[in-house]
């Protein structure tokens, strides 16, 4: 089946007269675990498949039918797979180890982190001559202003109903939390690369080991970063539309949810349409590792929703909840941050640090959201609150922490608070414990880890702005 898929891929590439470089990239995307693995296997085994290196015009095949192309490439495909071996064949996405044991533990040292963070921000603000308190948006004001316009252009469609549904949540200017993270991190990583380039200038040996963008690349990289921020927000909104249908929520971002406004069928299709447009924009970048990262985040959204709906056993309930947070909230942020670093041609250490920053800031953001569900009104949050998650049958971190002191919560959690009085009793027990404080402490722990991930980057105003954004997340009340 994979052989047939590849032959059709080859036929399509030849018929559309794609460049030979993109032709080979498409081949490696399907069969290599990643581009680096393919490159390594190809370099080690180039004598086994020399035909692959010939330009298209030197192959005697017709571009008129896929059958002719299949006849030519099946033997080549067989020889190539035999030469590279099974190690570079694609693996199924693993959902294990996205949450480690340390992600479930509160760091007692992190409890003093707010004061340390303020001190760090003040020191760097003085160094970079930045006015305090820092407003992270001011560093990317122009880029953020163009996000709305870029998204509306990306999702423009001729059908009036689909256009109205797809653009429903983009008519108002939201927080743009995810685009802000992507744009700030993009600038921080770009500045990091620029400083390294300056530091190693004059040393050819050292400079050769650095992966830094050239002047010619900068404009294209900026455009890709801007498009990545737009894609991230489009995917996020699509997930909100689908979540509201599953949860039967009436409000979103202070307005009536889309399925209440236009019906569930239109809402489902609007969410699908947004994901499709995001995928099209993503493919236009032509960066296979970035396509893989964002596609994985989309897959995680579905996995997280199913995980949230599933019944959990007593022993794995907190771990399952933290995995749900990662899949539904953190994965899109972490993979977008990873993609920002990849688009900047950063080395693997920076790519991994960017991913970890996104992972921890995403988890922290959701844990603070859990706290606000018990402490703030729906008016501030722009959605039903004060126990809204309980009424949806969702046990969030304050409830799970409370269950450690009150085991009577465990059967309520398993039956999703479906009996009369379950919601009120769970609410009462949460307020009789320090579980809300524990949830906030765990969020602060992840904020600390996020900042630690950033410290691998060279000092810059953009890194300082990201640290200020972390502080804002820790202290937010809406």
Tell me the DSSP string of 441-467.
HHHHHHHHHHHHHHTTSPP-HHHHHHH
Q: Is the pLDDT of residue 377 over 80?
A: no
User: What's the CA gap between 257 and 245, in Å, rounded?
Assistant: 9
Mean pLDDT on 237-241: 96
| pLDDT confidence tier of residue 96, bands split at 50, 70 and 90 | low
CA angle 170, 172, 177 (to 5 degrees): 75
Token code pair at residue 406: 């009150």
Q: How far, CA to CA in Å, does 10 sit from each of 31, 36, 38, 63, 67?
A: 13, 21, 17, 10, 11
| pLDDT confidence tier of residue 12, bands split at 50, 70 and 90 | very low
Q: Is the pLDDT of residue 57 over 60?
A: no
Digit-coded pLDDT (tens) for 126-140:
888 888 789 999 999
Query: Euclidean distance between the first and final Cα of the chain, in Å?
Result: 50
Q: Is the pLDDT of residue 27 over 80?
A: no
User: What's the CA gap between 240 and 258, in Å, rounded?
Assistant: 10
| pLDDT confidence tier of residue 120, bands split at 50, 70 and 90 | confident
Taking a C-beta distance cutoff of 8 angstroms, is the pair 389, 361 a contact? no
Answer with the residue of higher pLDDT: 168 or 208. Answer: 168
Token code pair at residue 333: 């942020």
Q: Which pLDDT value is given to residue 164?
A: 95
Q: Is the pLDDT of residue 113 over 90?
A: no
| pLDDT confidence tier of residue 88, bands split at 50, 70 and 90 | very low
**Side-chain-facing half-sphere of 62: CA atoms under 13 Å:** 6
Q: Which pLDDT value is given to residue 31?
A: 39
User: What's the CA gap between 30 and 90, in Å, rounded?
Assistant: 7
Q: Which of 202-211, 251-260, 404-413 has the lowest mean pLDDT?
A: 202-211
Mean pLDDT on 185-199: 90
Q: DSSP states of 264-283 as a string?
A: HHHHHHHHHHHHHHHHHHHH
Of 287, 42, 265, the closest CA to residue 165 belongs to 265
Q: Which pLDDT value is given to residue 174?
A: 74
User: What's the CA gap between 343 and 354, in Å, rounded?
Assistant: 12
Backbone angles phi, psi at 402, to 5 degrees: -65, -30
Q: Which pLDDT value is given to residue 133?
A: 84
Q: Is the pLDDT of residue 143 over 80?
A: yes
Q: What is the mean pLDDT of the chain?
A: 80
Q: Is the pLDDT of residue 7 over 60?
A: no
Q: How far, CA to CA in Å, does 333 sit from each of 194, 231, 301, 361?
A: 24, 11, 12, 8
């Amino acid at each position: 089946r994979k052989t047939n898929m590849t032959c059709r891929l080859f036929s399509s590439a030849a018929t559309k007269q794609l460049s030979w470089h993109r032709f080979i990239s498409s081949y490696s995307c399907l069969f290599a675990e990643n581009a680096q693995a393919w490159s390594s296997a190809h370099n080690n085994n180039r004598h086994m498949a020399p035909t692959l290196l010939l330009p298209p015009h030197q192959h005697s095949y017709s571009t008129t039918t896929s059958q002719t192309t299949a006849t030519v490439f099946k033997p080549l495909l067989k020889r190539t797979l035999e030469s590279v071996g099974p190690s570079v064949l694609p693996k199924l996405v693993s959902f294990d180890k996205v949450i480690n044991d340390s992600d479930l533990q509160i760091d007692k040292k992190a409890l003093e982190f707010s004061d340390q963070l303020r001190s760090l921000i003040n020191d760097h603000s003085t160094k970079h001559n930045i006015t305090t308190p820092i407003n992270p948006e001011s560093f990317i004001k122009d880029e953020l202003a163009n996000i709305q316009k870029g998204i509306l252009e990306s999702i423009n469609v001729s059908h009036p109903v689909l256009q109205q549904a797809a653009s429903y949540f983009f008519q108002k200017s939201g927080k743009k939390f995810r685009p802000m993270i992507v744009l700030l991190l993009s600038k921080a990583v770009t500045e990091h690369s620029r400083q390294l380039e300056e530091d190693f200038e004059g040393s050819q040996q050292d400079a050769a080991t650095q992966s830094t963008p050239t002047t010619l690349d900068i404009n294209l990289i900026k455009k890709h970063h801007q498009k990545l921020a737009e894609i991230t927000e489009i995917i996020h909104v699509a997930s909100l539309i689908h979540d509201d249908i599953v949860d039967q929520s009436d409000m979103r971002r202070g307005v009536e949810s889309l399925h209440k406004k236009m019906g569930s069928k239109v809402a489902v299709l609007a969410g699908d349409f947004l994901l499709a447009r995001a995928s099209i924009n993503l493919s236009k970048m032509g960066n296979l590792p970035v396509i893989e990262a964002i596609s994985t985040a989309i897959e995680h959204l579905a996995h997280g929703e199913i995980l949230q709906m599933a019944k959990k056993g007593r022993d794995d309930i907190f771990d399952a909840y933290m995995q749900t947070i990662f899949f539904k909230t953190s994965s899109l942020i972490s993979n977008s941050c990873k993609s920002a670093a990849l688009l900047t041609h950063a080395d693997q250490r920076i790519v991994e640090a960017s991913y970890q920053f996104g992972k921890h800031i995403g988890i922290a953001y959701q844990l603070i959201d859990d706290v606000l569900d018990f402490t703030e009104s729906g008016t501030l949050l722009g959605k039903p609150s004060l126990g809204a998650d309980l009424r949806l049958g969702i046990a969030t971190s304050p409830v799970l922490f409370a269950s450690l002191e009150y085991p009577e919560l465990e059967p309520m959690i398993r039956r999703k608070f479906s009996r009369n009085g379950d919601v009120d009793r769970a609410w009462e027990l949460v307020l009789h414990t320090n579980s809300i404080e524990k949830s906030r402490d765990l969020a602060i722990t992840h904020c600390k880890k996020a900042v630690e991930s950033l410290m691998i980057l060279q000092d810059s105003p953009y890194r300082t702005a990201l640290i200020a954004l972390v502080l804002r997340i820790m202290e937010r009340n809406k």
